Chain A
């Protein structure tokens, strides 16, 4: 997909989501769930173009589009500089009895997430990462990280890592965050 096509798709998707958000009753649970599911399935497609648009090749370092990617490592998913954690904010589930894409026992993965685009120094490719929160227990507080690559304020919720992404879970109490690969951005 070319950058131009992706940007057009991006705008259309954003317009569609705004249209849905603007016309559904917030108090209607089904509408809320529908919007959530729509958003969660569509939003992973958004940041790819943003990242490519943001960093021209001339300003990349060793193929990495951001400083985080240029110094990231690929072997230890319990450290904050692990390549997938470029936009993570919170406790690493991998340090709390879960895994890089698995929730610890006693918690529940959120069906929604925020999205980042992270550079893997191992294969020199960028990947779309869904940061899904695990919910239902209090903060597990082992390894706490704050990756801010592509992190935008909450008026761009799909790229904001401050929101408690526990929409659609039985409890909205935040425990930790995972980082699942949901696609290639290269």
Chain B
């Protein structure tokens, strides 16, 4: 036994020596790797296909986050925190973007802080943390945090449970004023033909309140008469809007689209039916809830490409009251005619649809596994899938949106 062990020991020495000799030979030919300094990268200037993707992380919403994605390469570029039913606003191609979030001093208890965080778009460093008078705590809704078309004002919706909008100066980060909008919710910023700016909110009676903002003046409010029935056929909160034009497209649960020119006295146009554009009968409302039809639904259920006037709406087959069901198709509609351009199947049932604003647009969708899909908007074909980018992908915000 002893002789065998000794032999094995000698063999090991010989083999080990040969290996060390071989390694020394390699080292002689290869340059020695240099020592490194740790650093932090900065994002290159954003192109039209940089997109912010909000992950609400519903299973532990205190850990929400926003991913910065290069949609051409399907690559994660960085991320920032977005705690507890946060909202995001701004433009990833601009100097800064904004996150409204809520945190407690002891995790789930202690002092509550509602914060508007300003992030540098390239370093993703905090530029400013501003404590807010409050913000609505609700499953994130895009129109609870908005920015004016000129980028100078930030609007934060609050519900405590009285309704108000806090107006923040984007330069000073300070709350300039708060406007009570009793009985109304959400923020749809606008700039009208006279370059006057403000925002409108949807009211519980089916109308709008229009808030005009003028420098050094108290905001003035007008009301637009009810144009839809919240009980029978409500409009979606995530209906798309182009602040620079003051044009909103309020989509109802049944599938009507109300064009509204927002302004100091918002003007409501004639609605059209998405289903009728597809040669189908209009979707039923709450009076006939069992009727199965193609219907709009989801969370970020629609996106608007401003230059072409094309509206992209998530549609699914279902009864009334299925307004949060995932979309099975994207219906592309030219709202200027109006006409259905085409129906695009989605890679997987999705609660969100997003669109970039350039001439070679990309469409974004997600699924329940947190996968992120990037489609060519011209062909409708899938370009990339980013597997499990997050867990609860609910919103996208792309350059120029």
Contacts from A to B (Cβ < 8 Å)? 14, 17-19, 21-24, 26-27, 32, 35-36, 39, 50, 53-56, 59, 61, 65-68, 70, 89, 112, 136-139, 141, 144, 146, 148-157, 160, 162-164, 166-167, 170-174
Contacts and interface: CB of A to CB of B under 8 A. Distances in A.
Contacts of B162: 21, 24, 26, 32, 35
Contacts of B286: 54-55
A22 B182 CA distance: 5
Interface of B: 58-62, 84-85, 102, 104, 108-109, 112, 133-134, 136-139, 141, 158-164, 178, 180, 182-186, 201-205, 230-232, 234-237, 286-290, 319, 321-324
Q: Which of B85, B108, B112 has the most CB of A within 10 A?
A: B108
Contacts of B85: 164
A144 B213 CA distance: 42
Q: Determine the main DSSP class of A at the interface with B.
A: loop
Nearest to B57: A139
A18 B180 CA distance: 11
Nearest to B163: A21
B377 to A, nearest CB: 28
B321 A66 contact: yes
A156 B137 contact: no
A65 B289 contact: yes
12 contacts: A26-B133, A26-B134, A32-B161, A54-B287, A139-B59, A139-B60, A148-B323, A151-B324, A152-B231, A157-B161, A171-B112, A172-B112
Nearest to A28: B162
A162 B234 CA distance: 15
A25 to B, nearest CB: 9
B141 A163 contact: no
A17 B162 CA distance: 10
A167 B108 contact: no
A174 B104 CA distance: 13
B231 A53 contact: yes
B321 A36 contact: no
A70 B290 CA distance: 10
Nearest to A158: B204
A50 B237 contact: no
Nearest to A14: B204
B128 to A, nearest CB: 23
A150 B60 contact: no
A137 B109 CA distance: 9
Contacts of B60: 138-139
A26 B132 CA distance: 13
Contacts of A166: 137
A50 B287 CA distance: 10
Nearest to A163: B138
B186 A139 contact: no
Given A67-B290, A138-B60, A156-B234, 7 more contacts: A19-B182, A26-B180, A55-B287, A65-B289, A153-B202, A164-B137, A173-B62
A65 B287 CA distance: 9
A54 B289 contact: yes
Given A26-B160, A36-B161, A39-B161, A153 B234 contact: yes
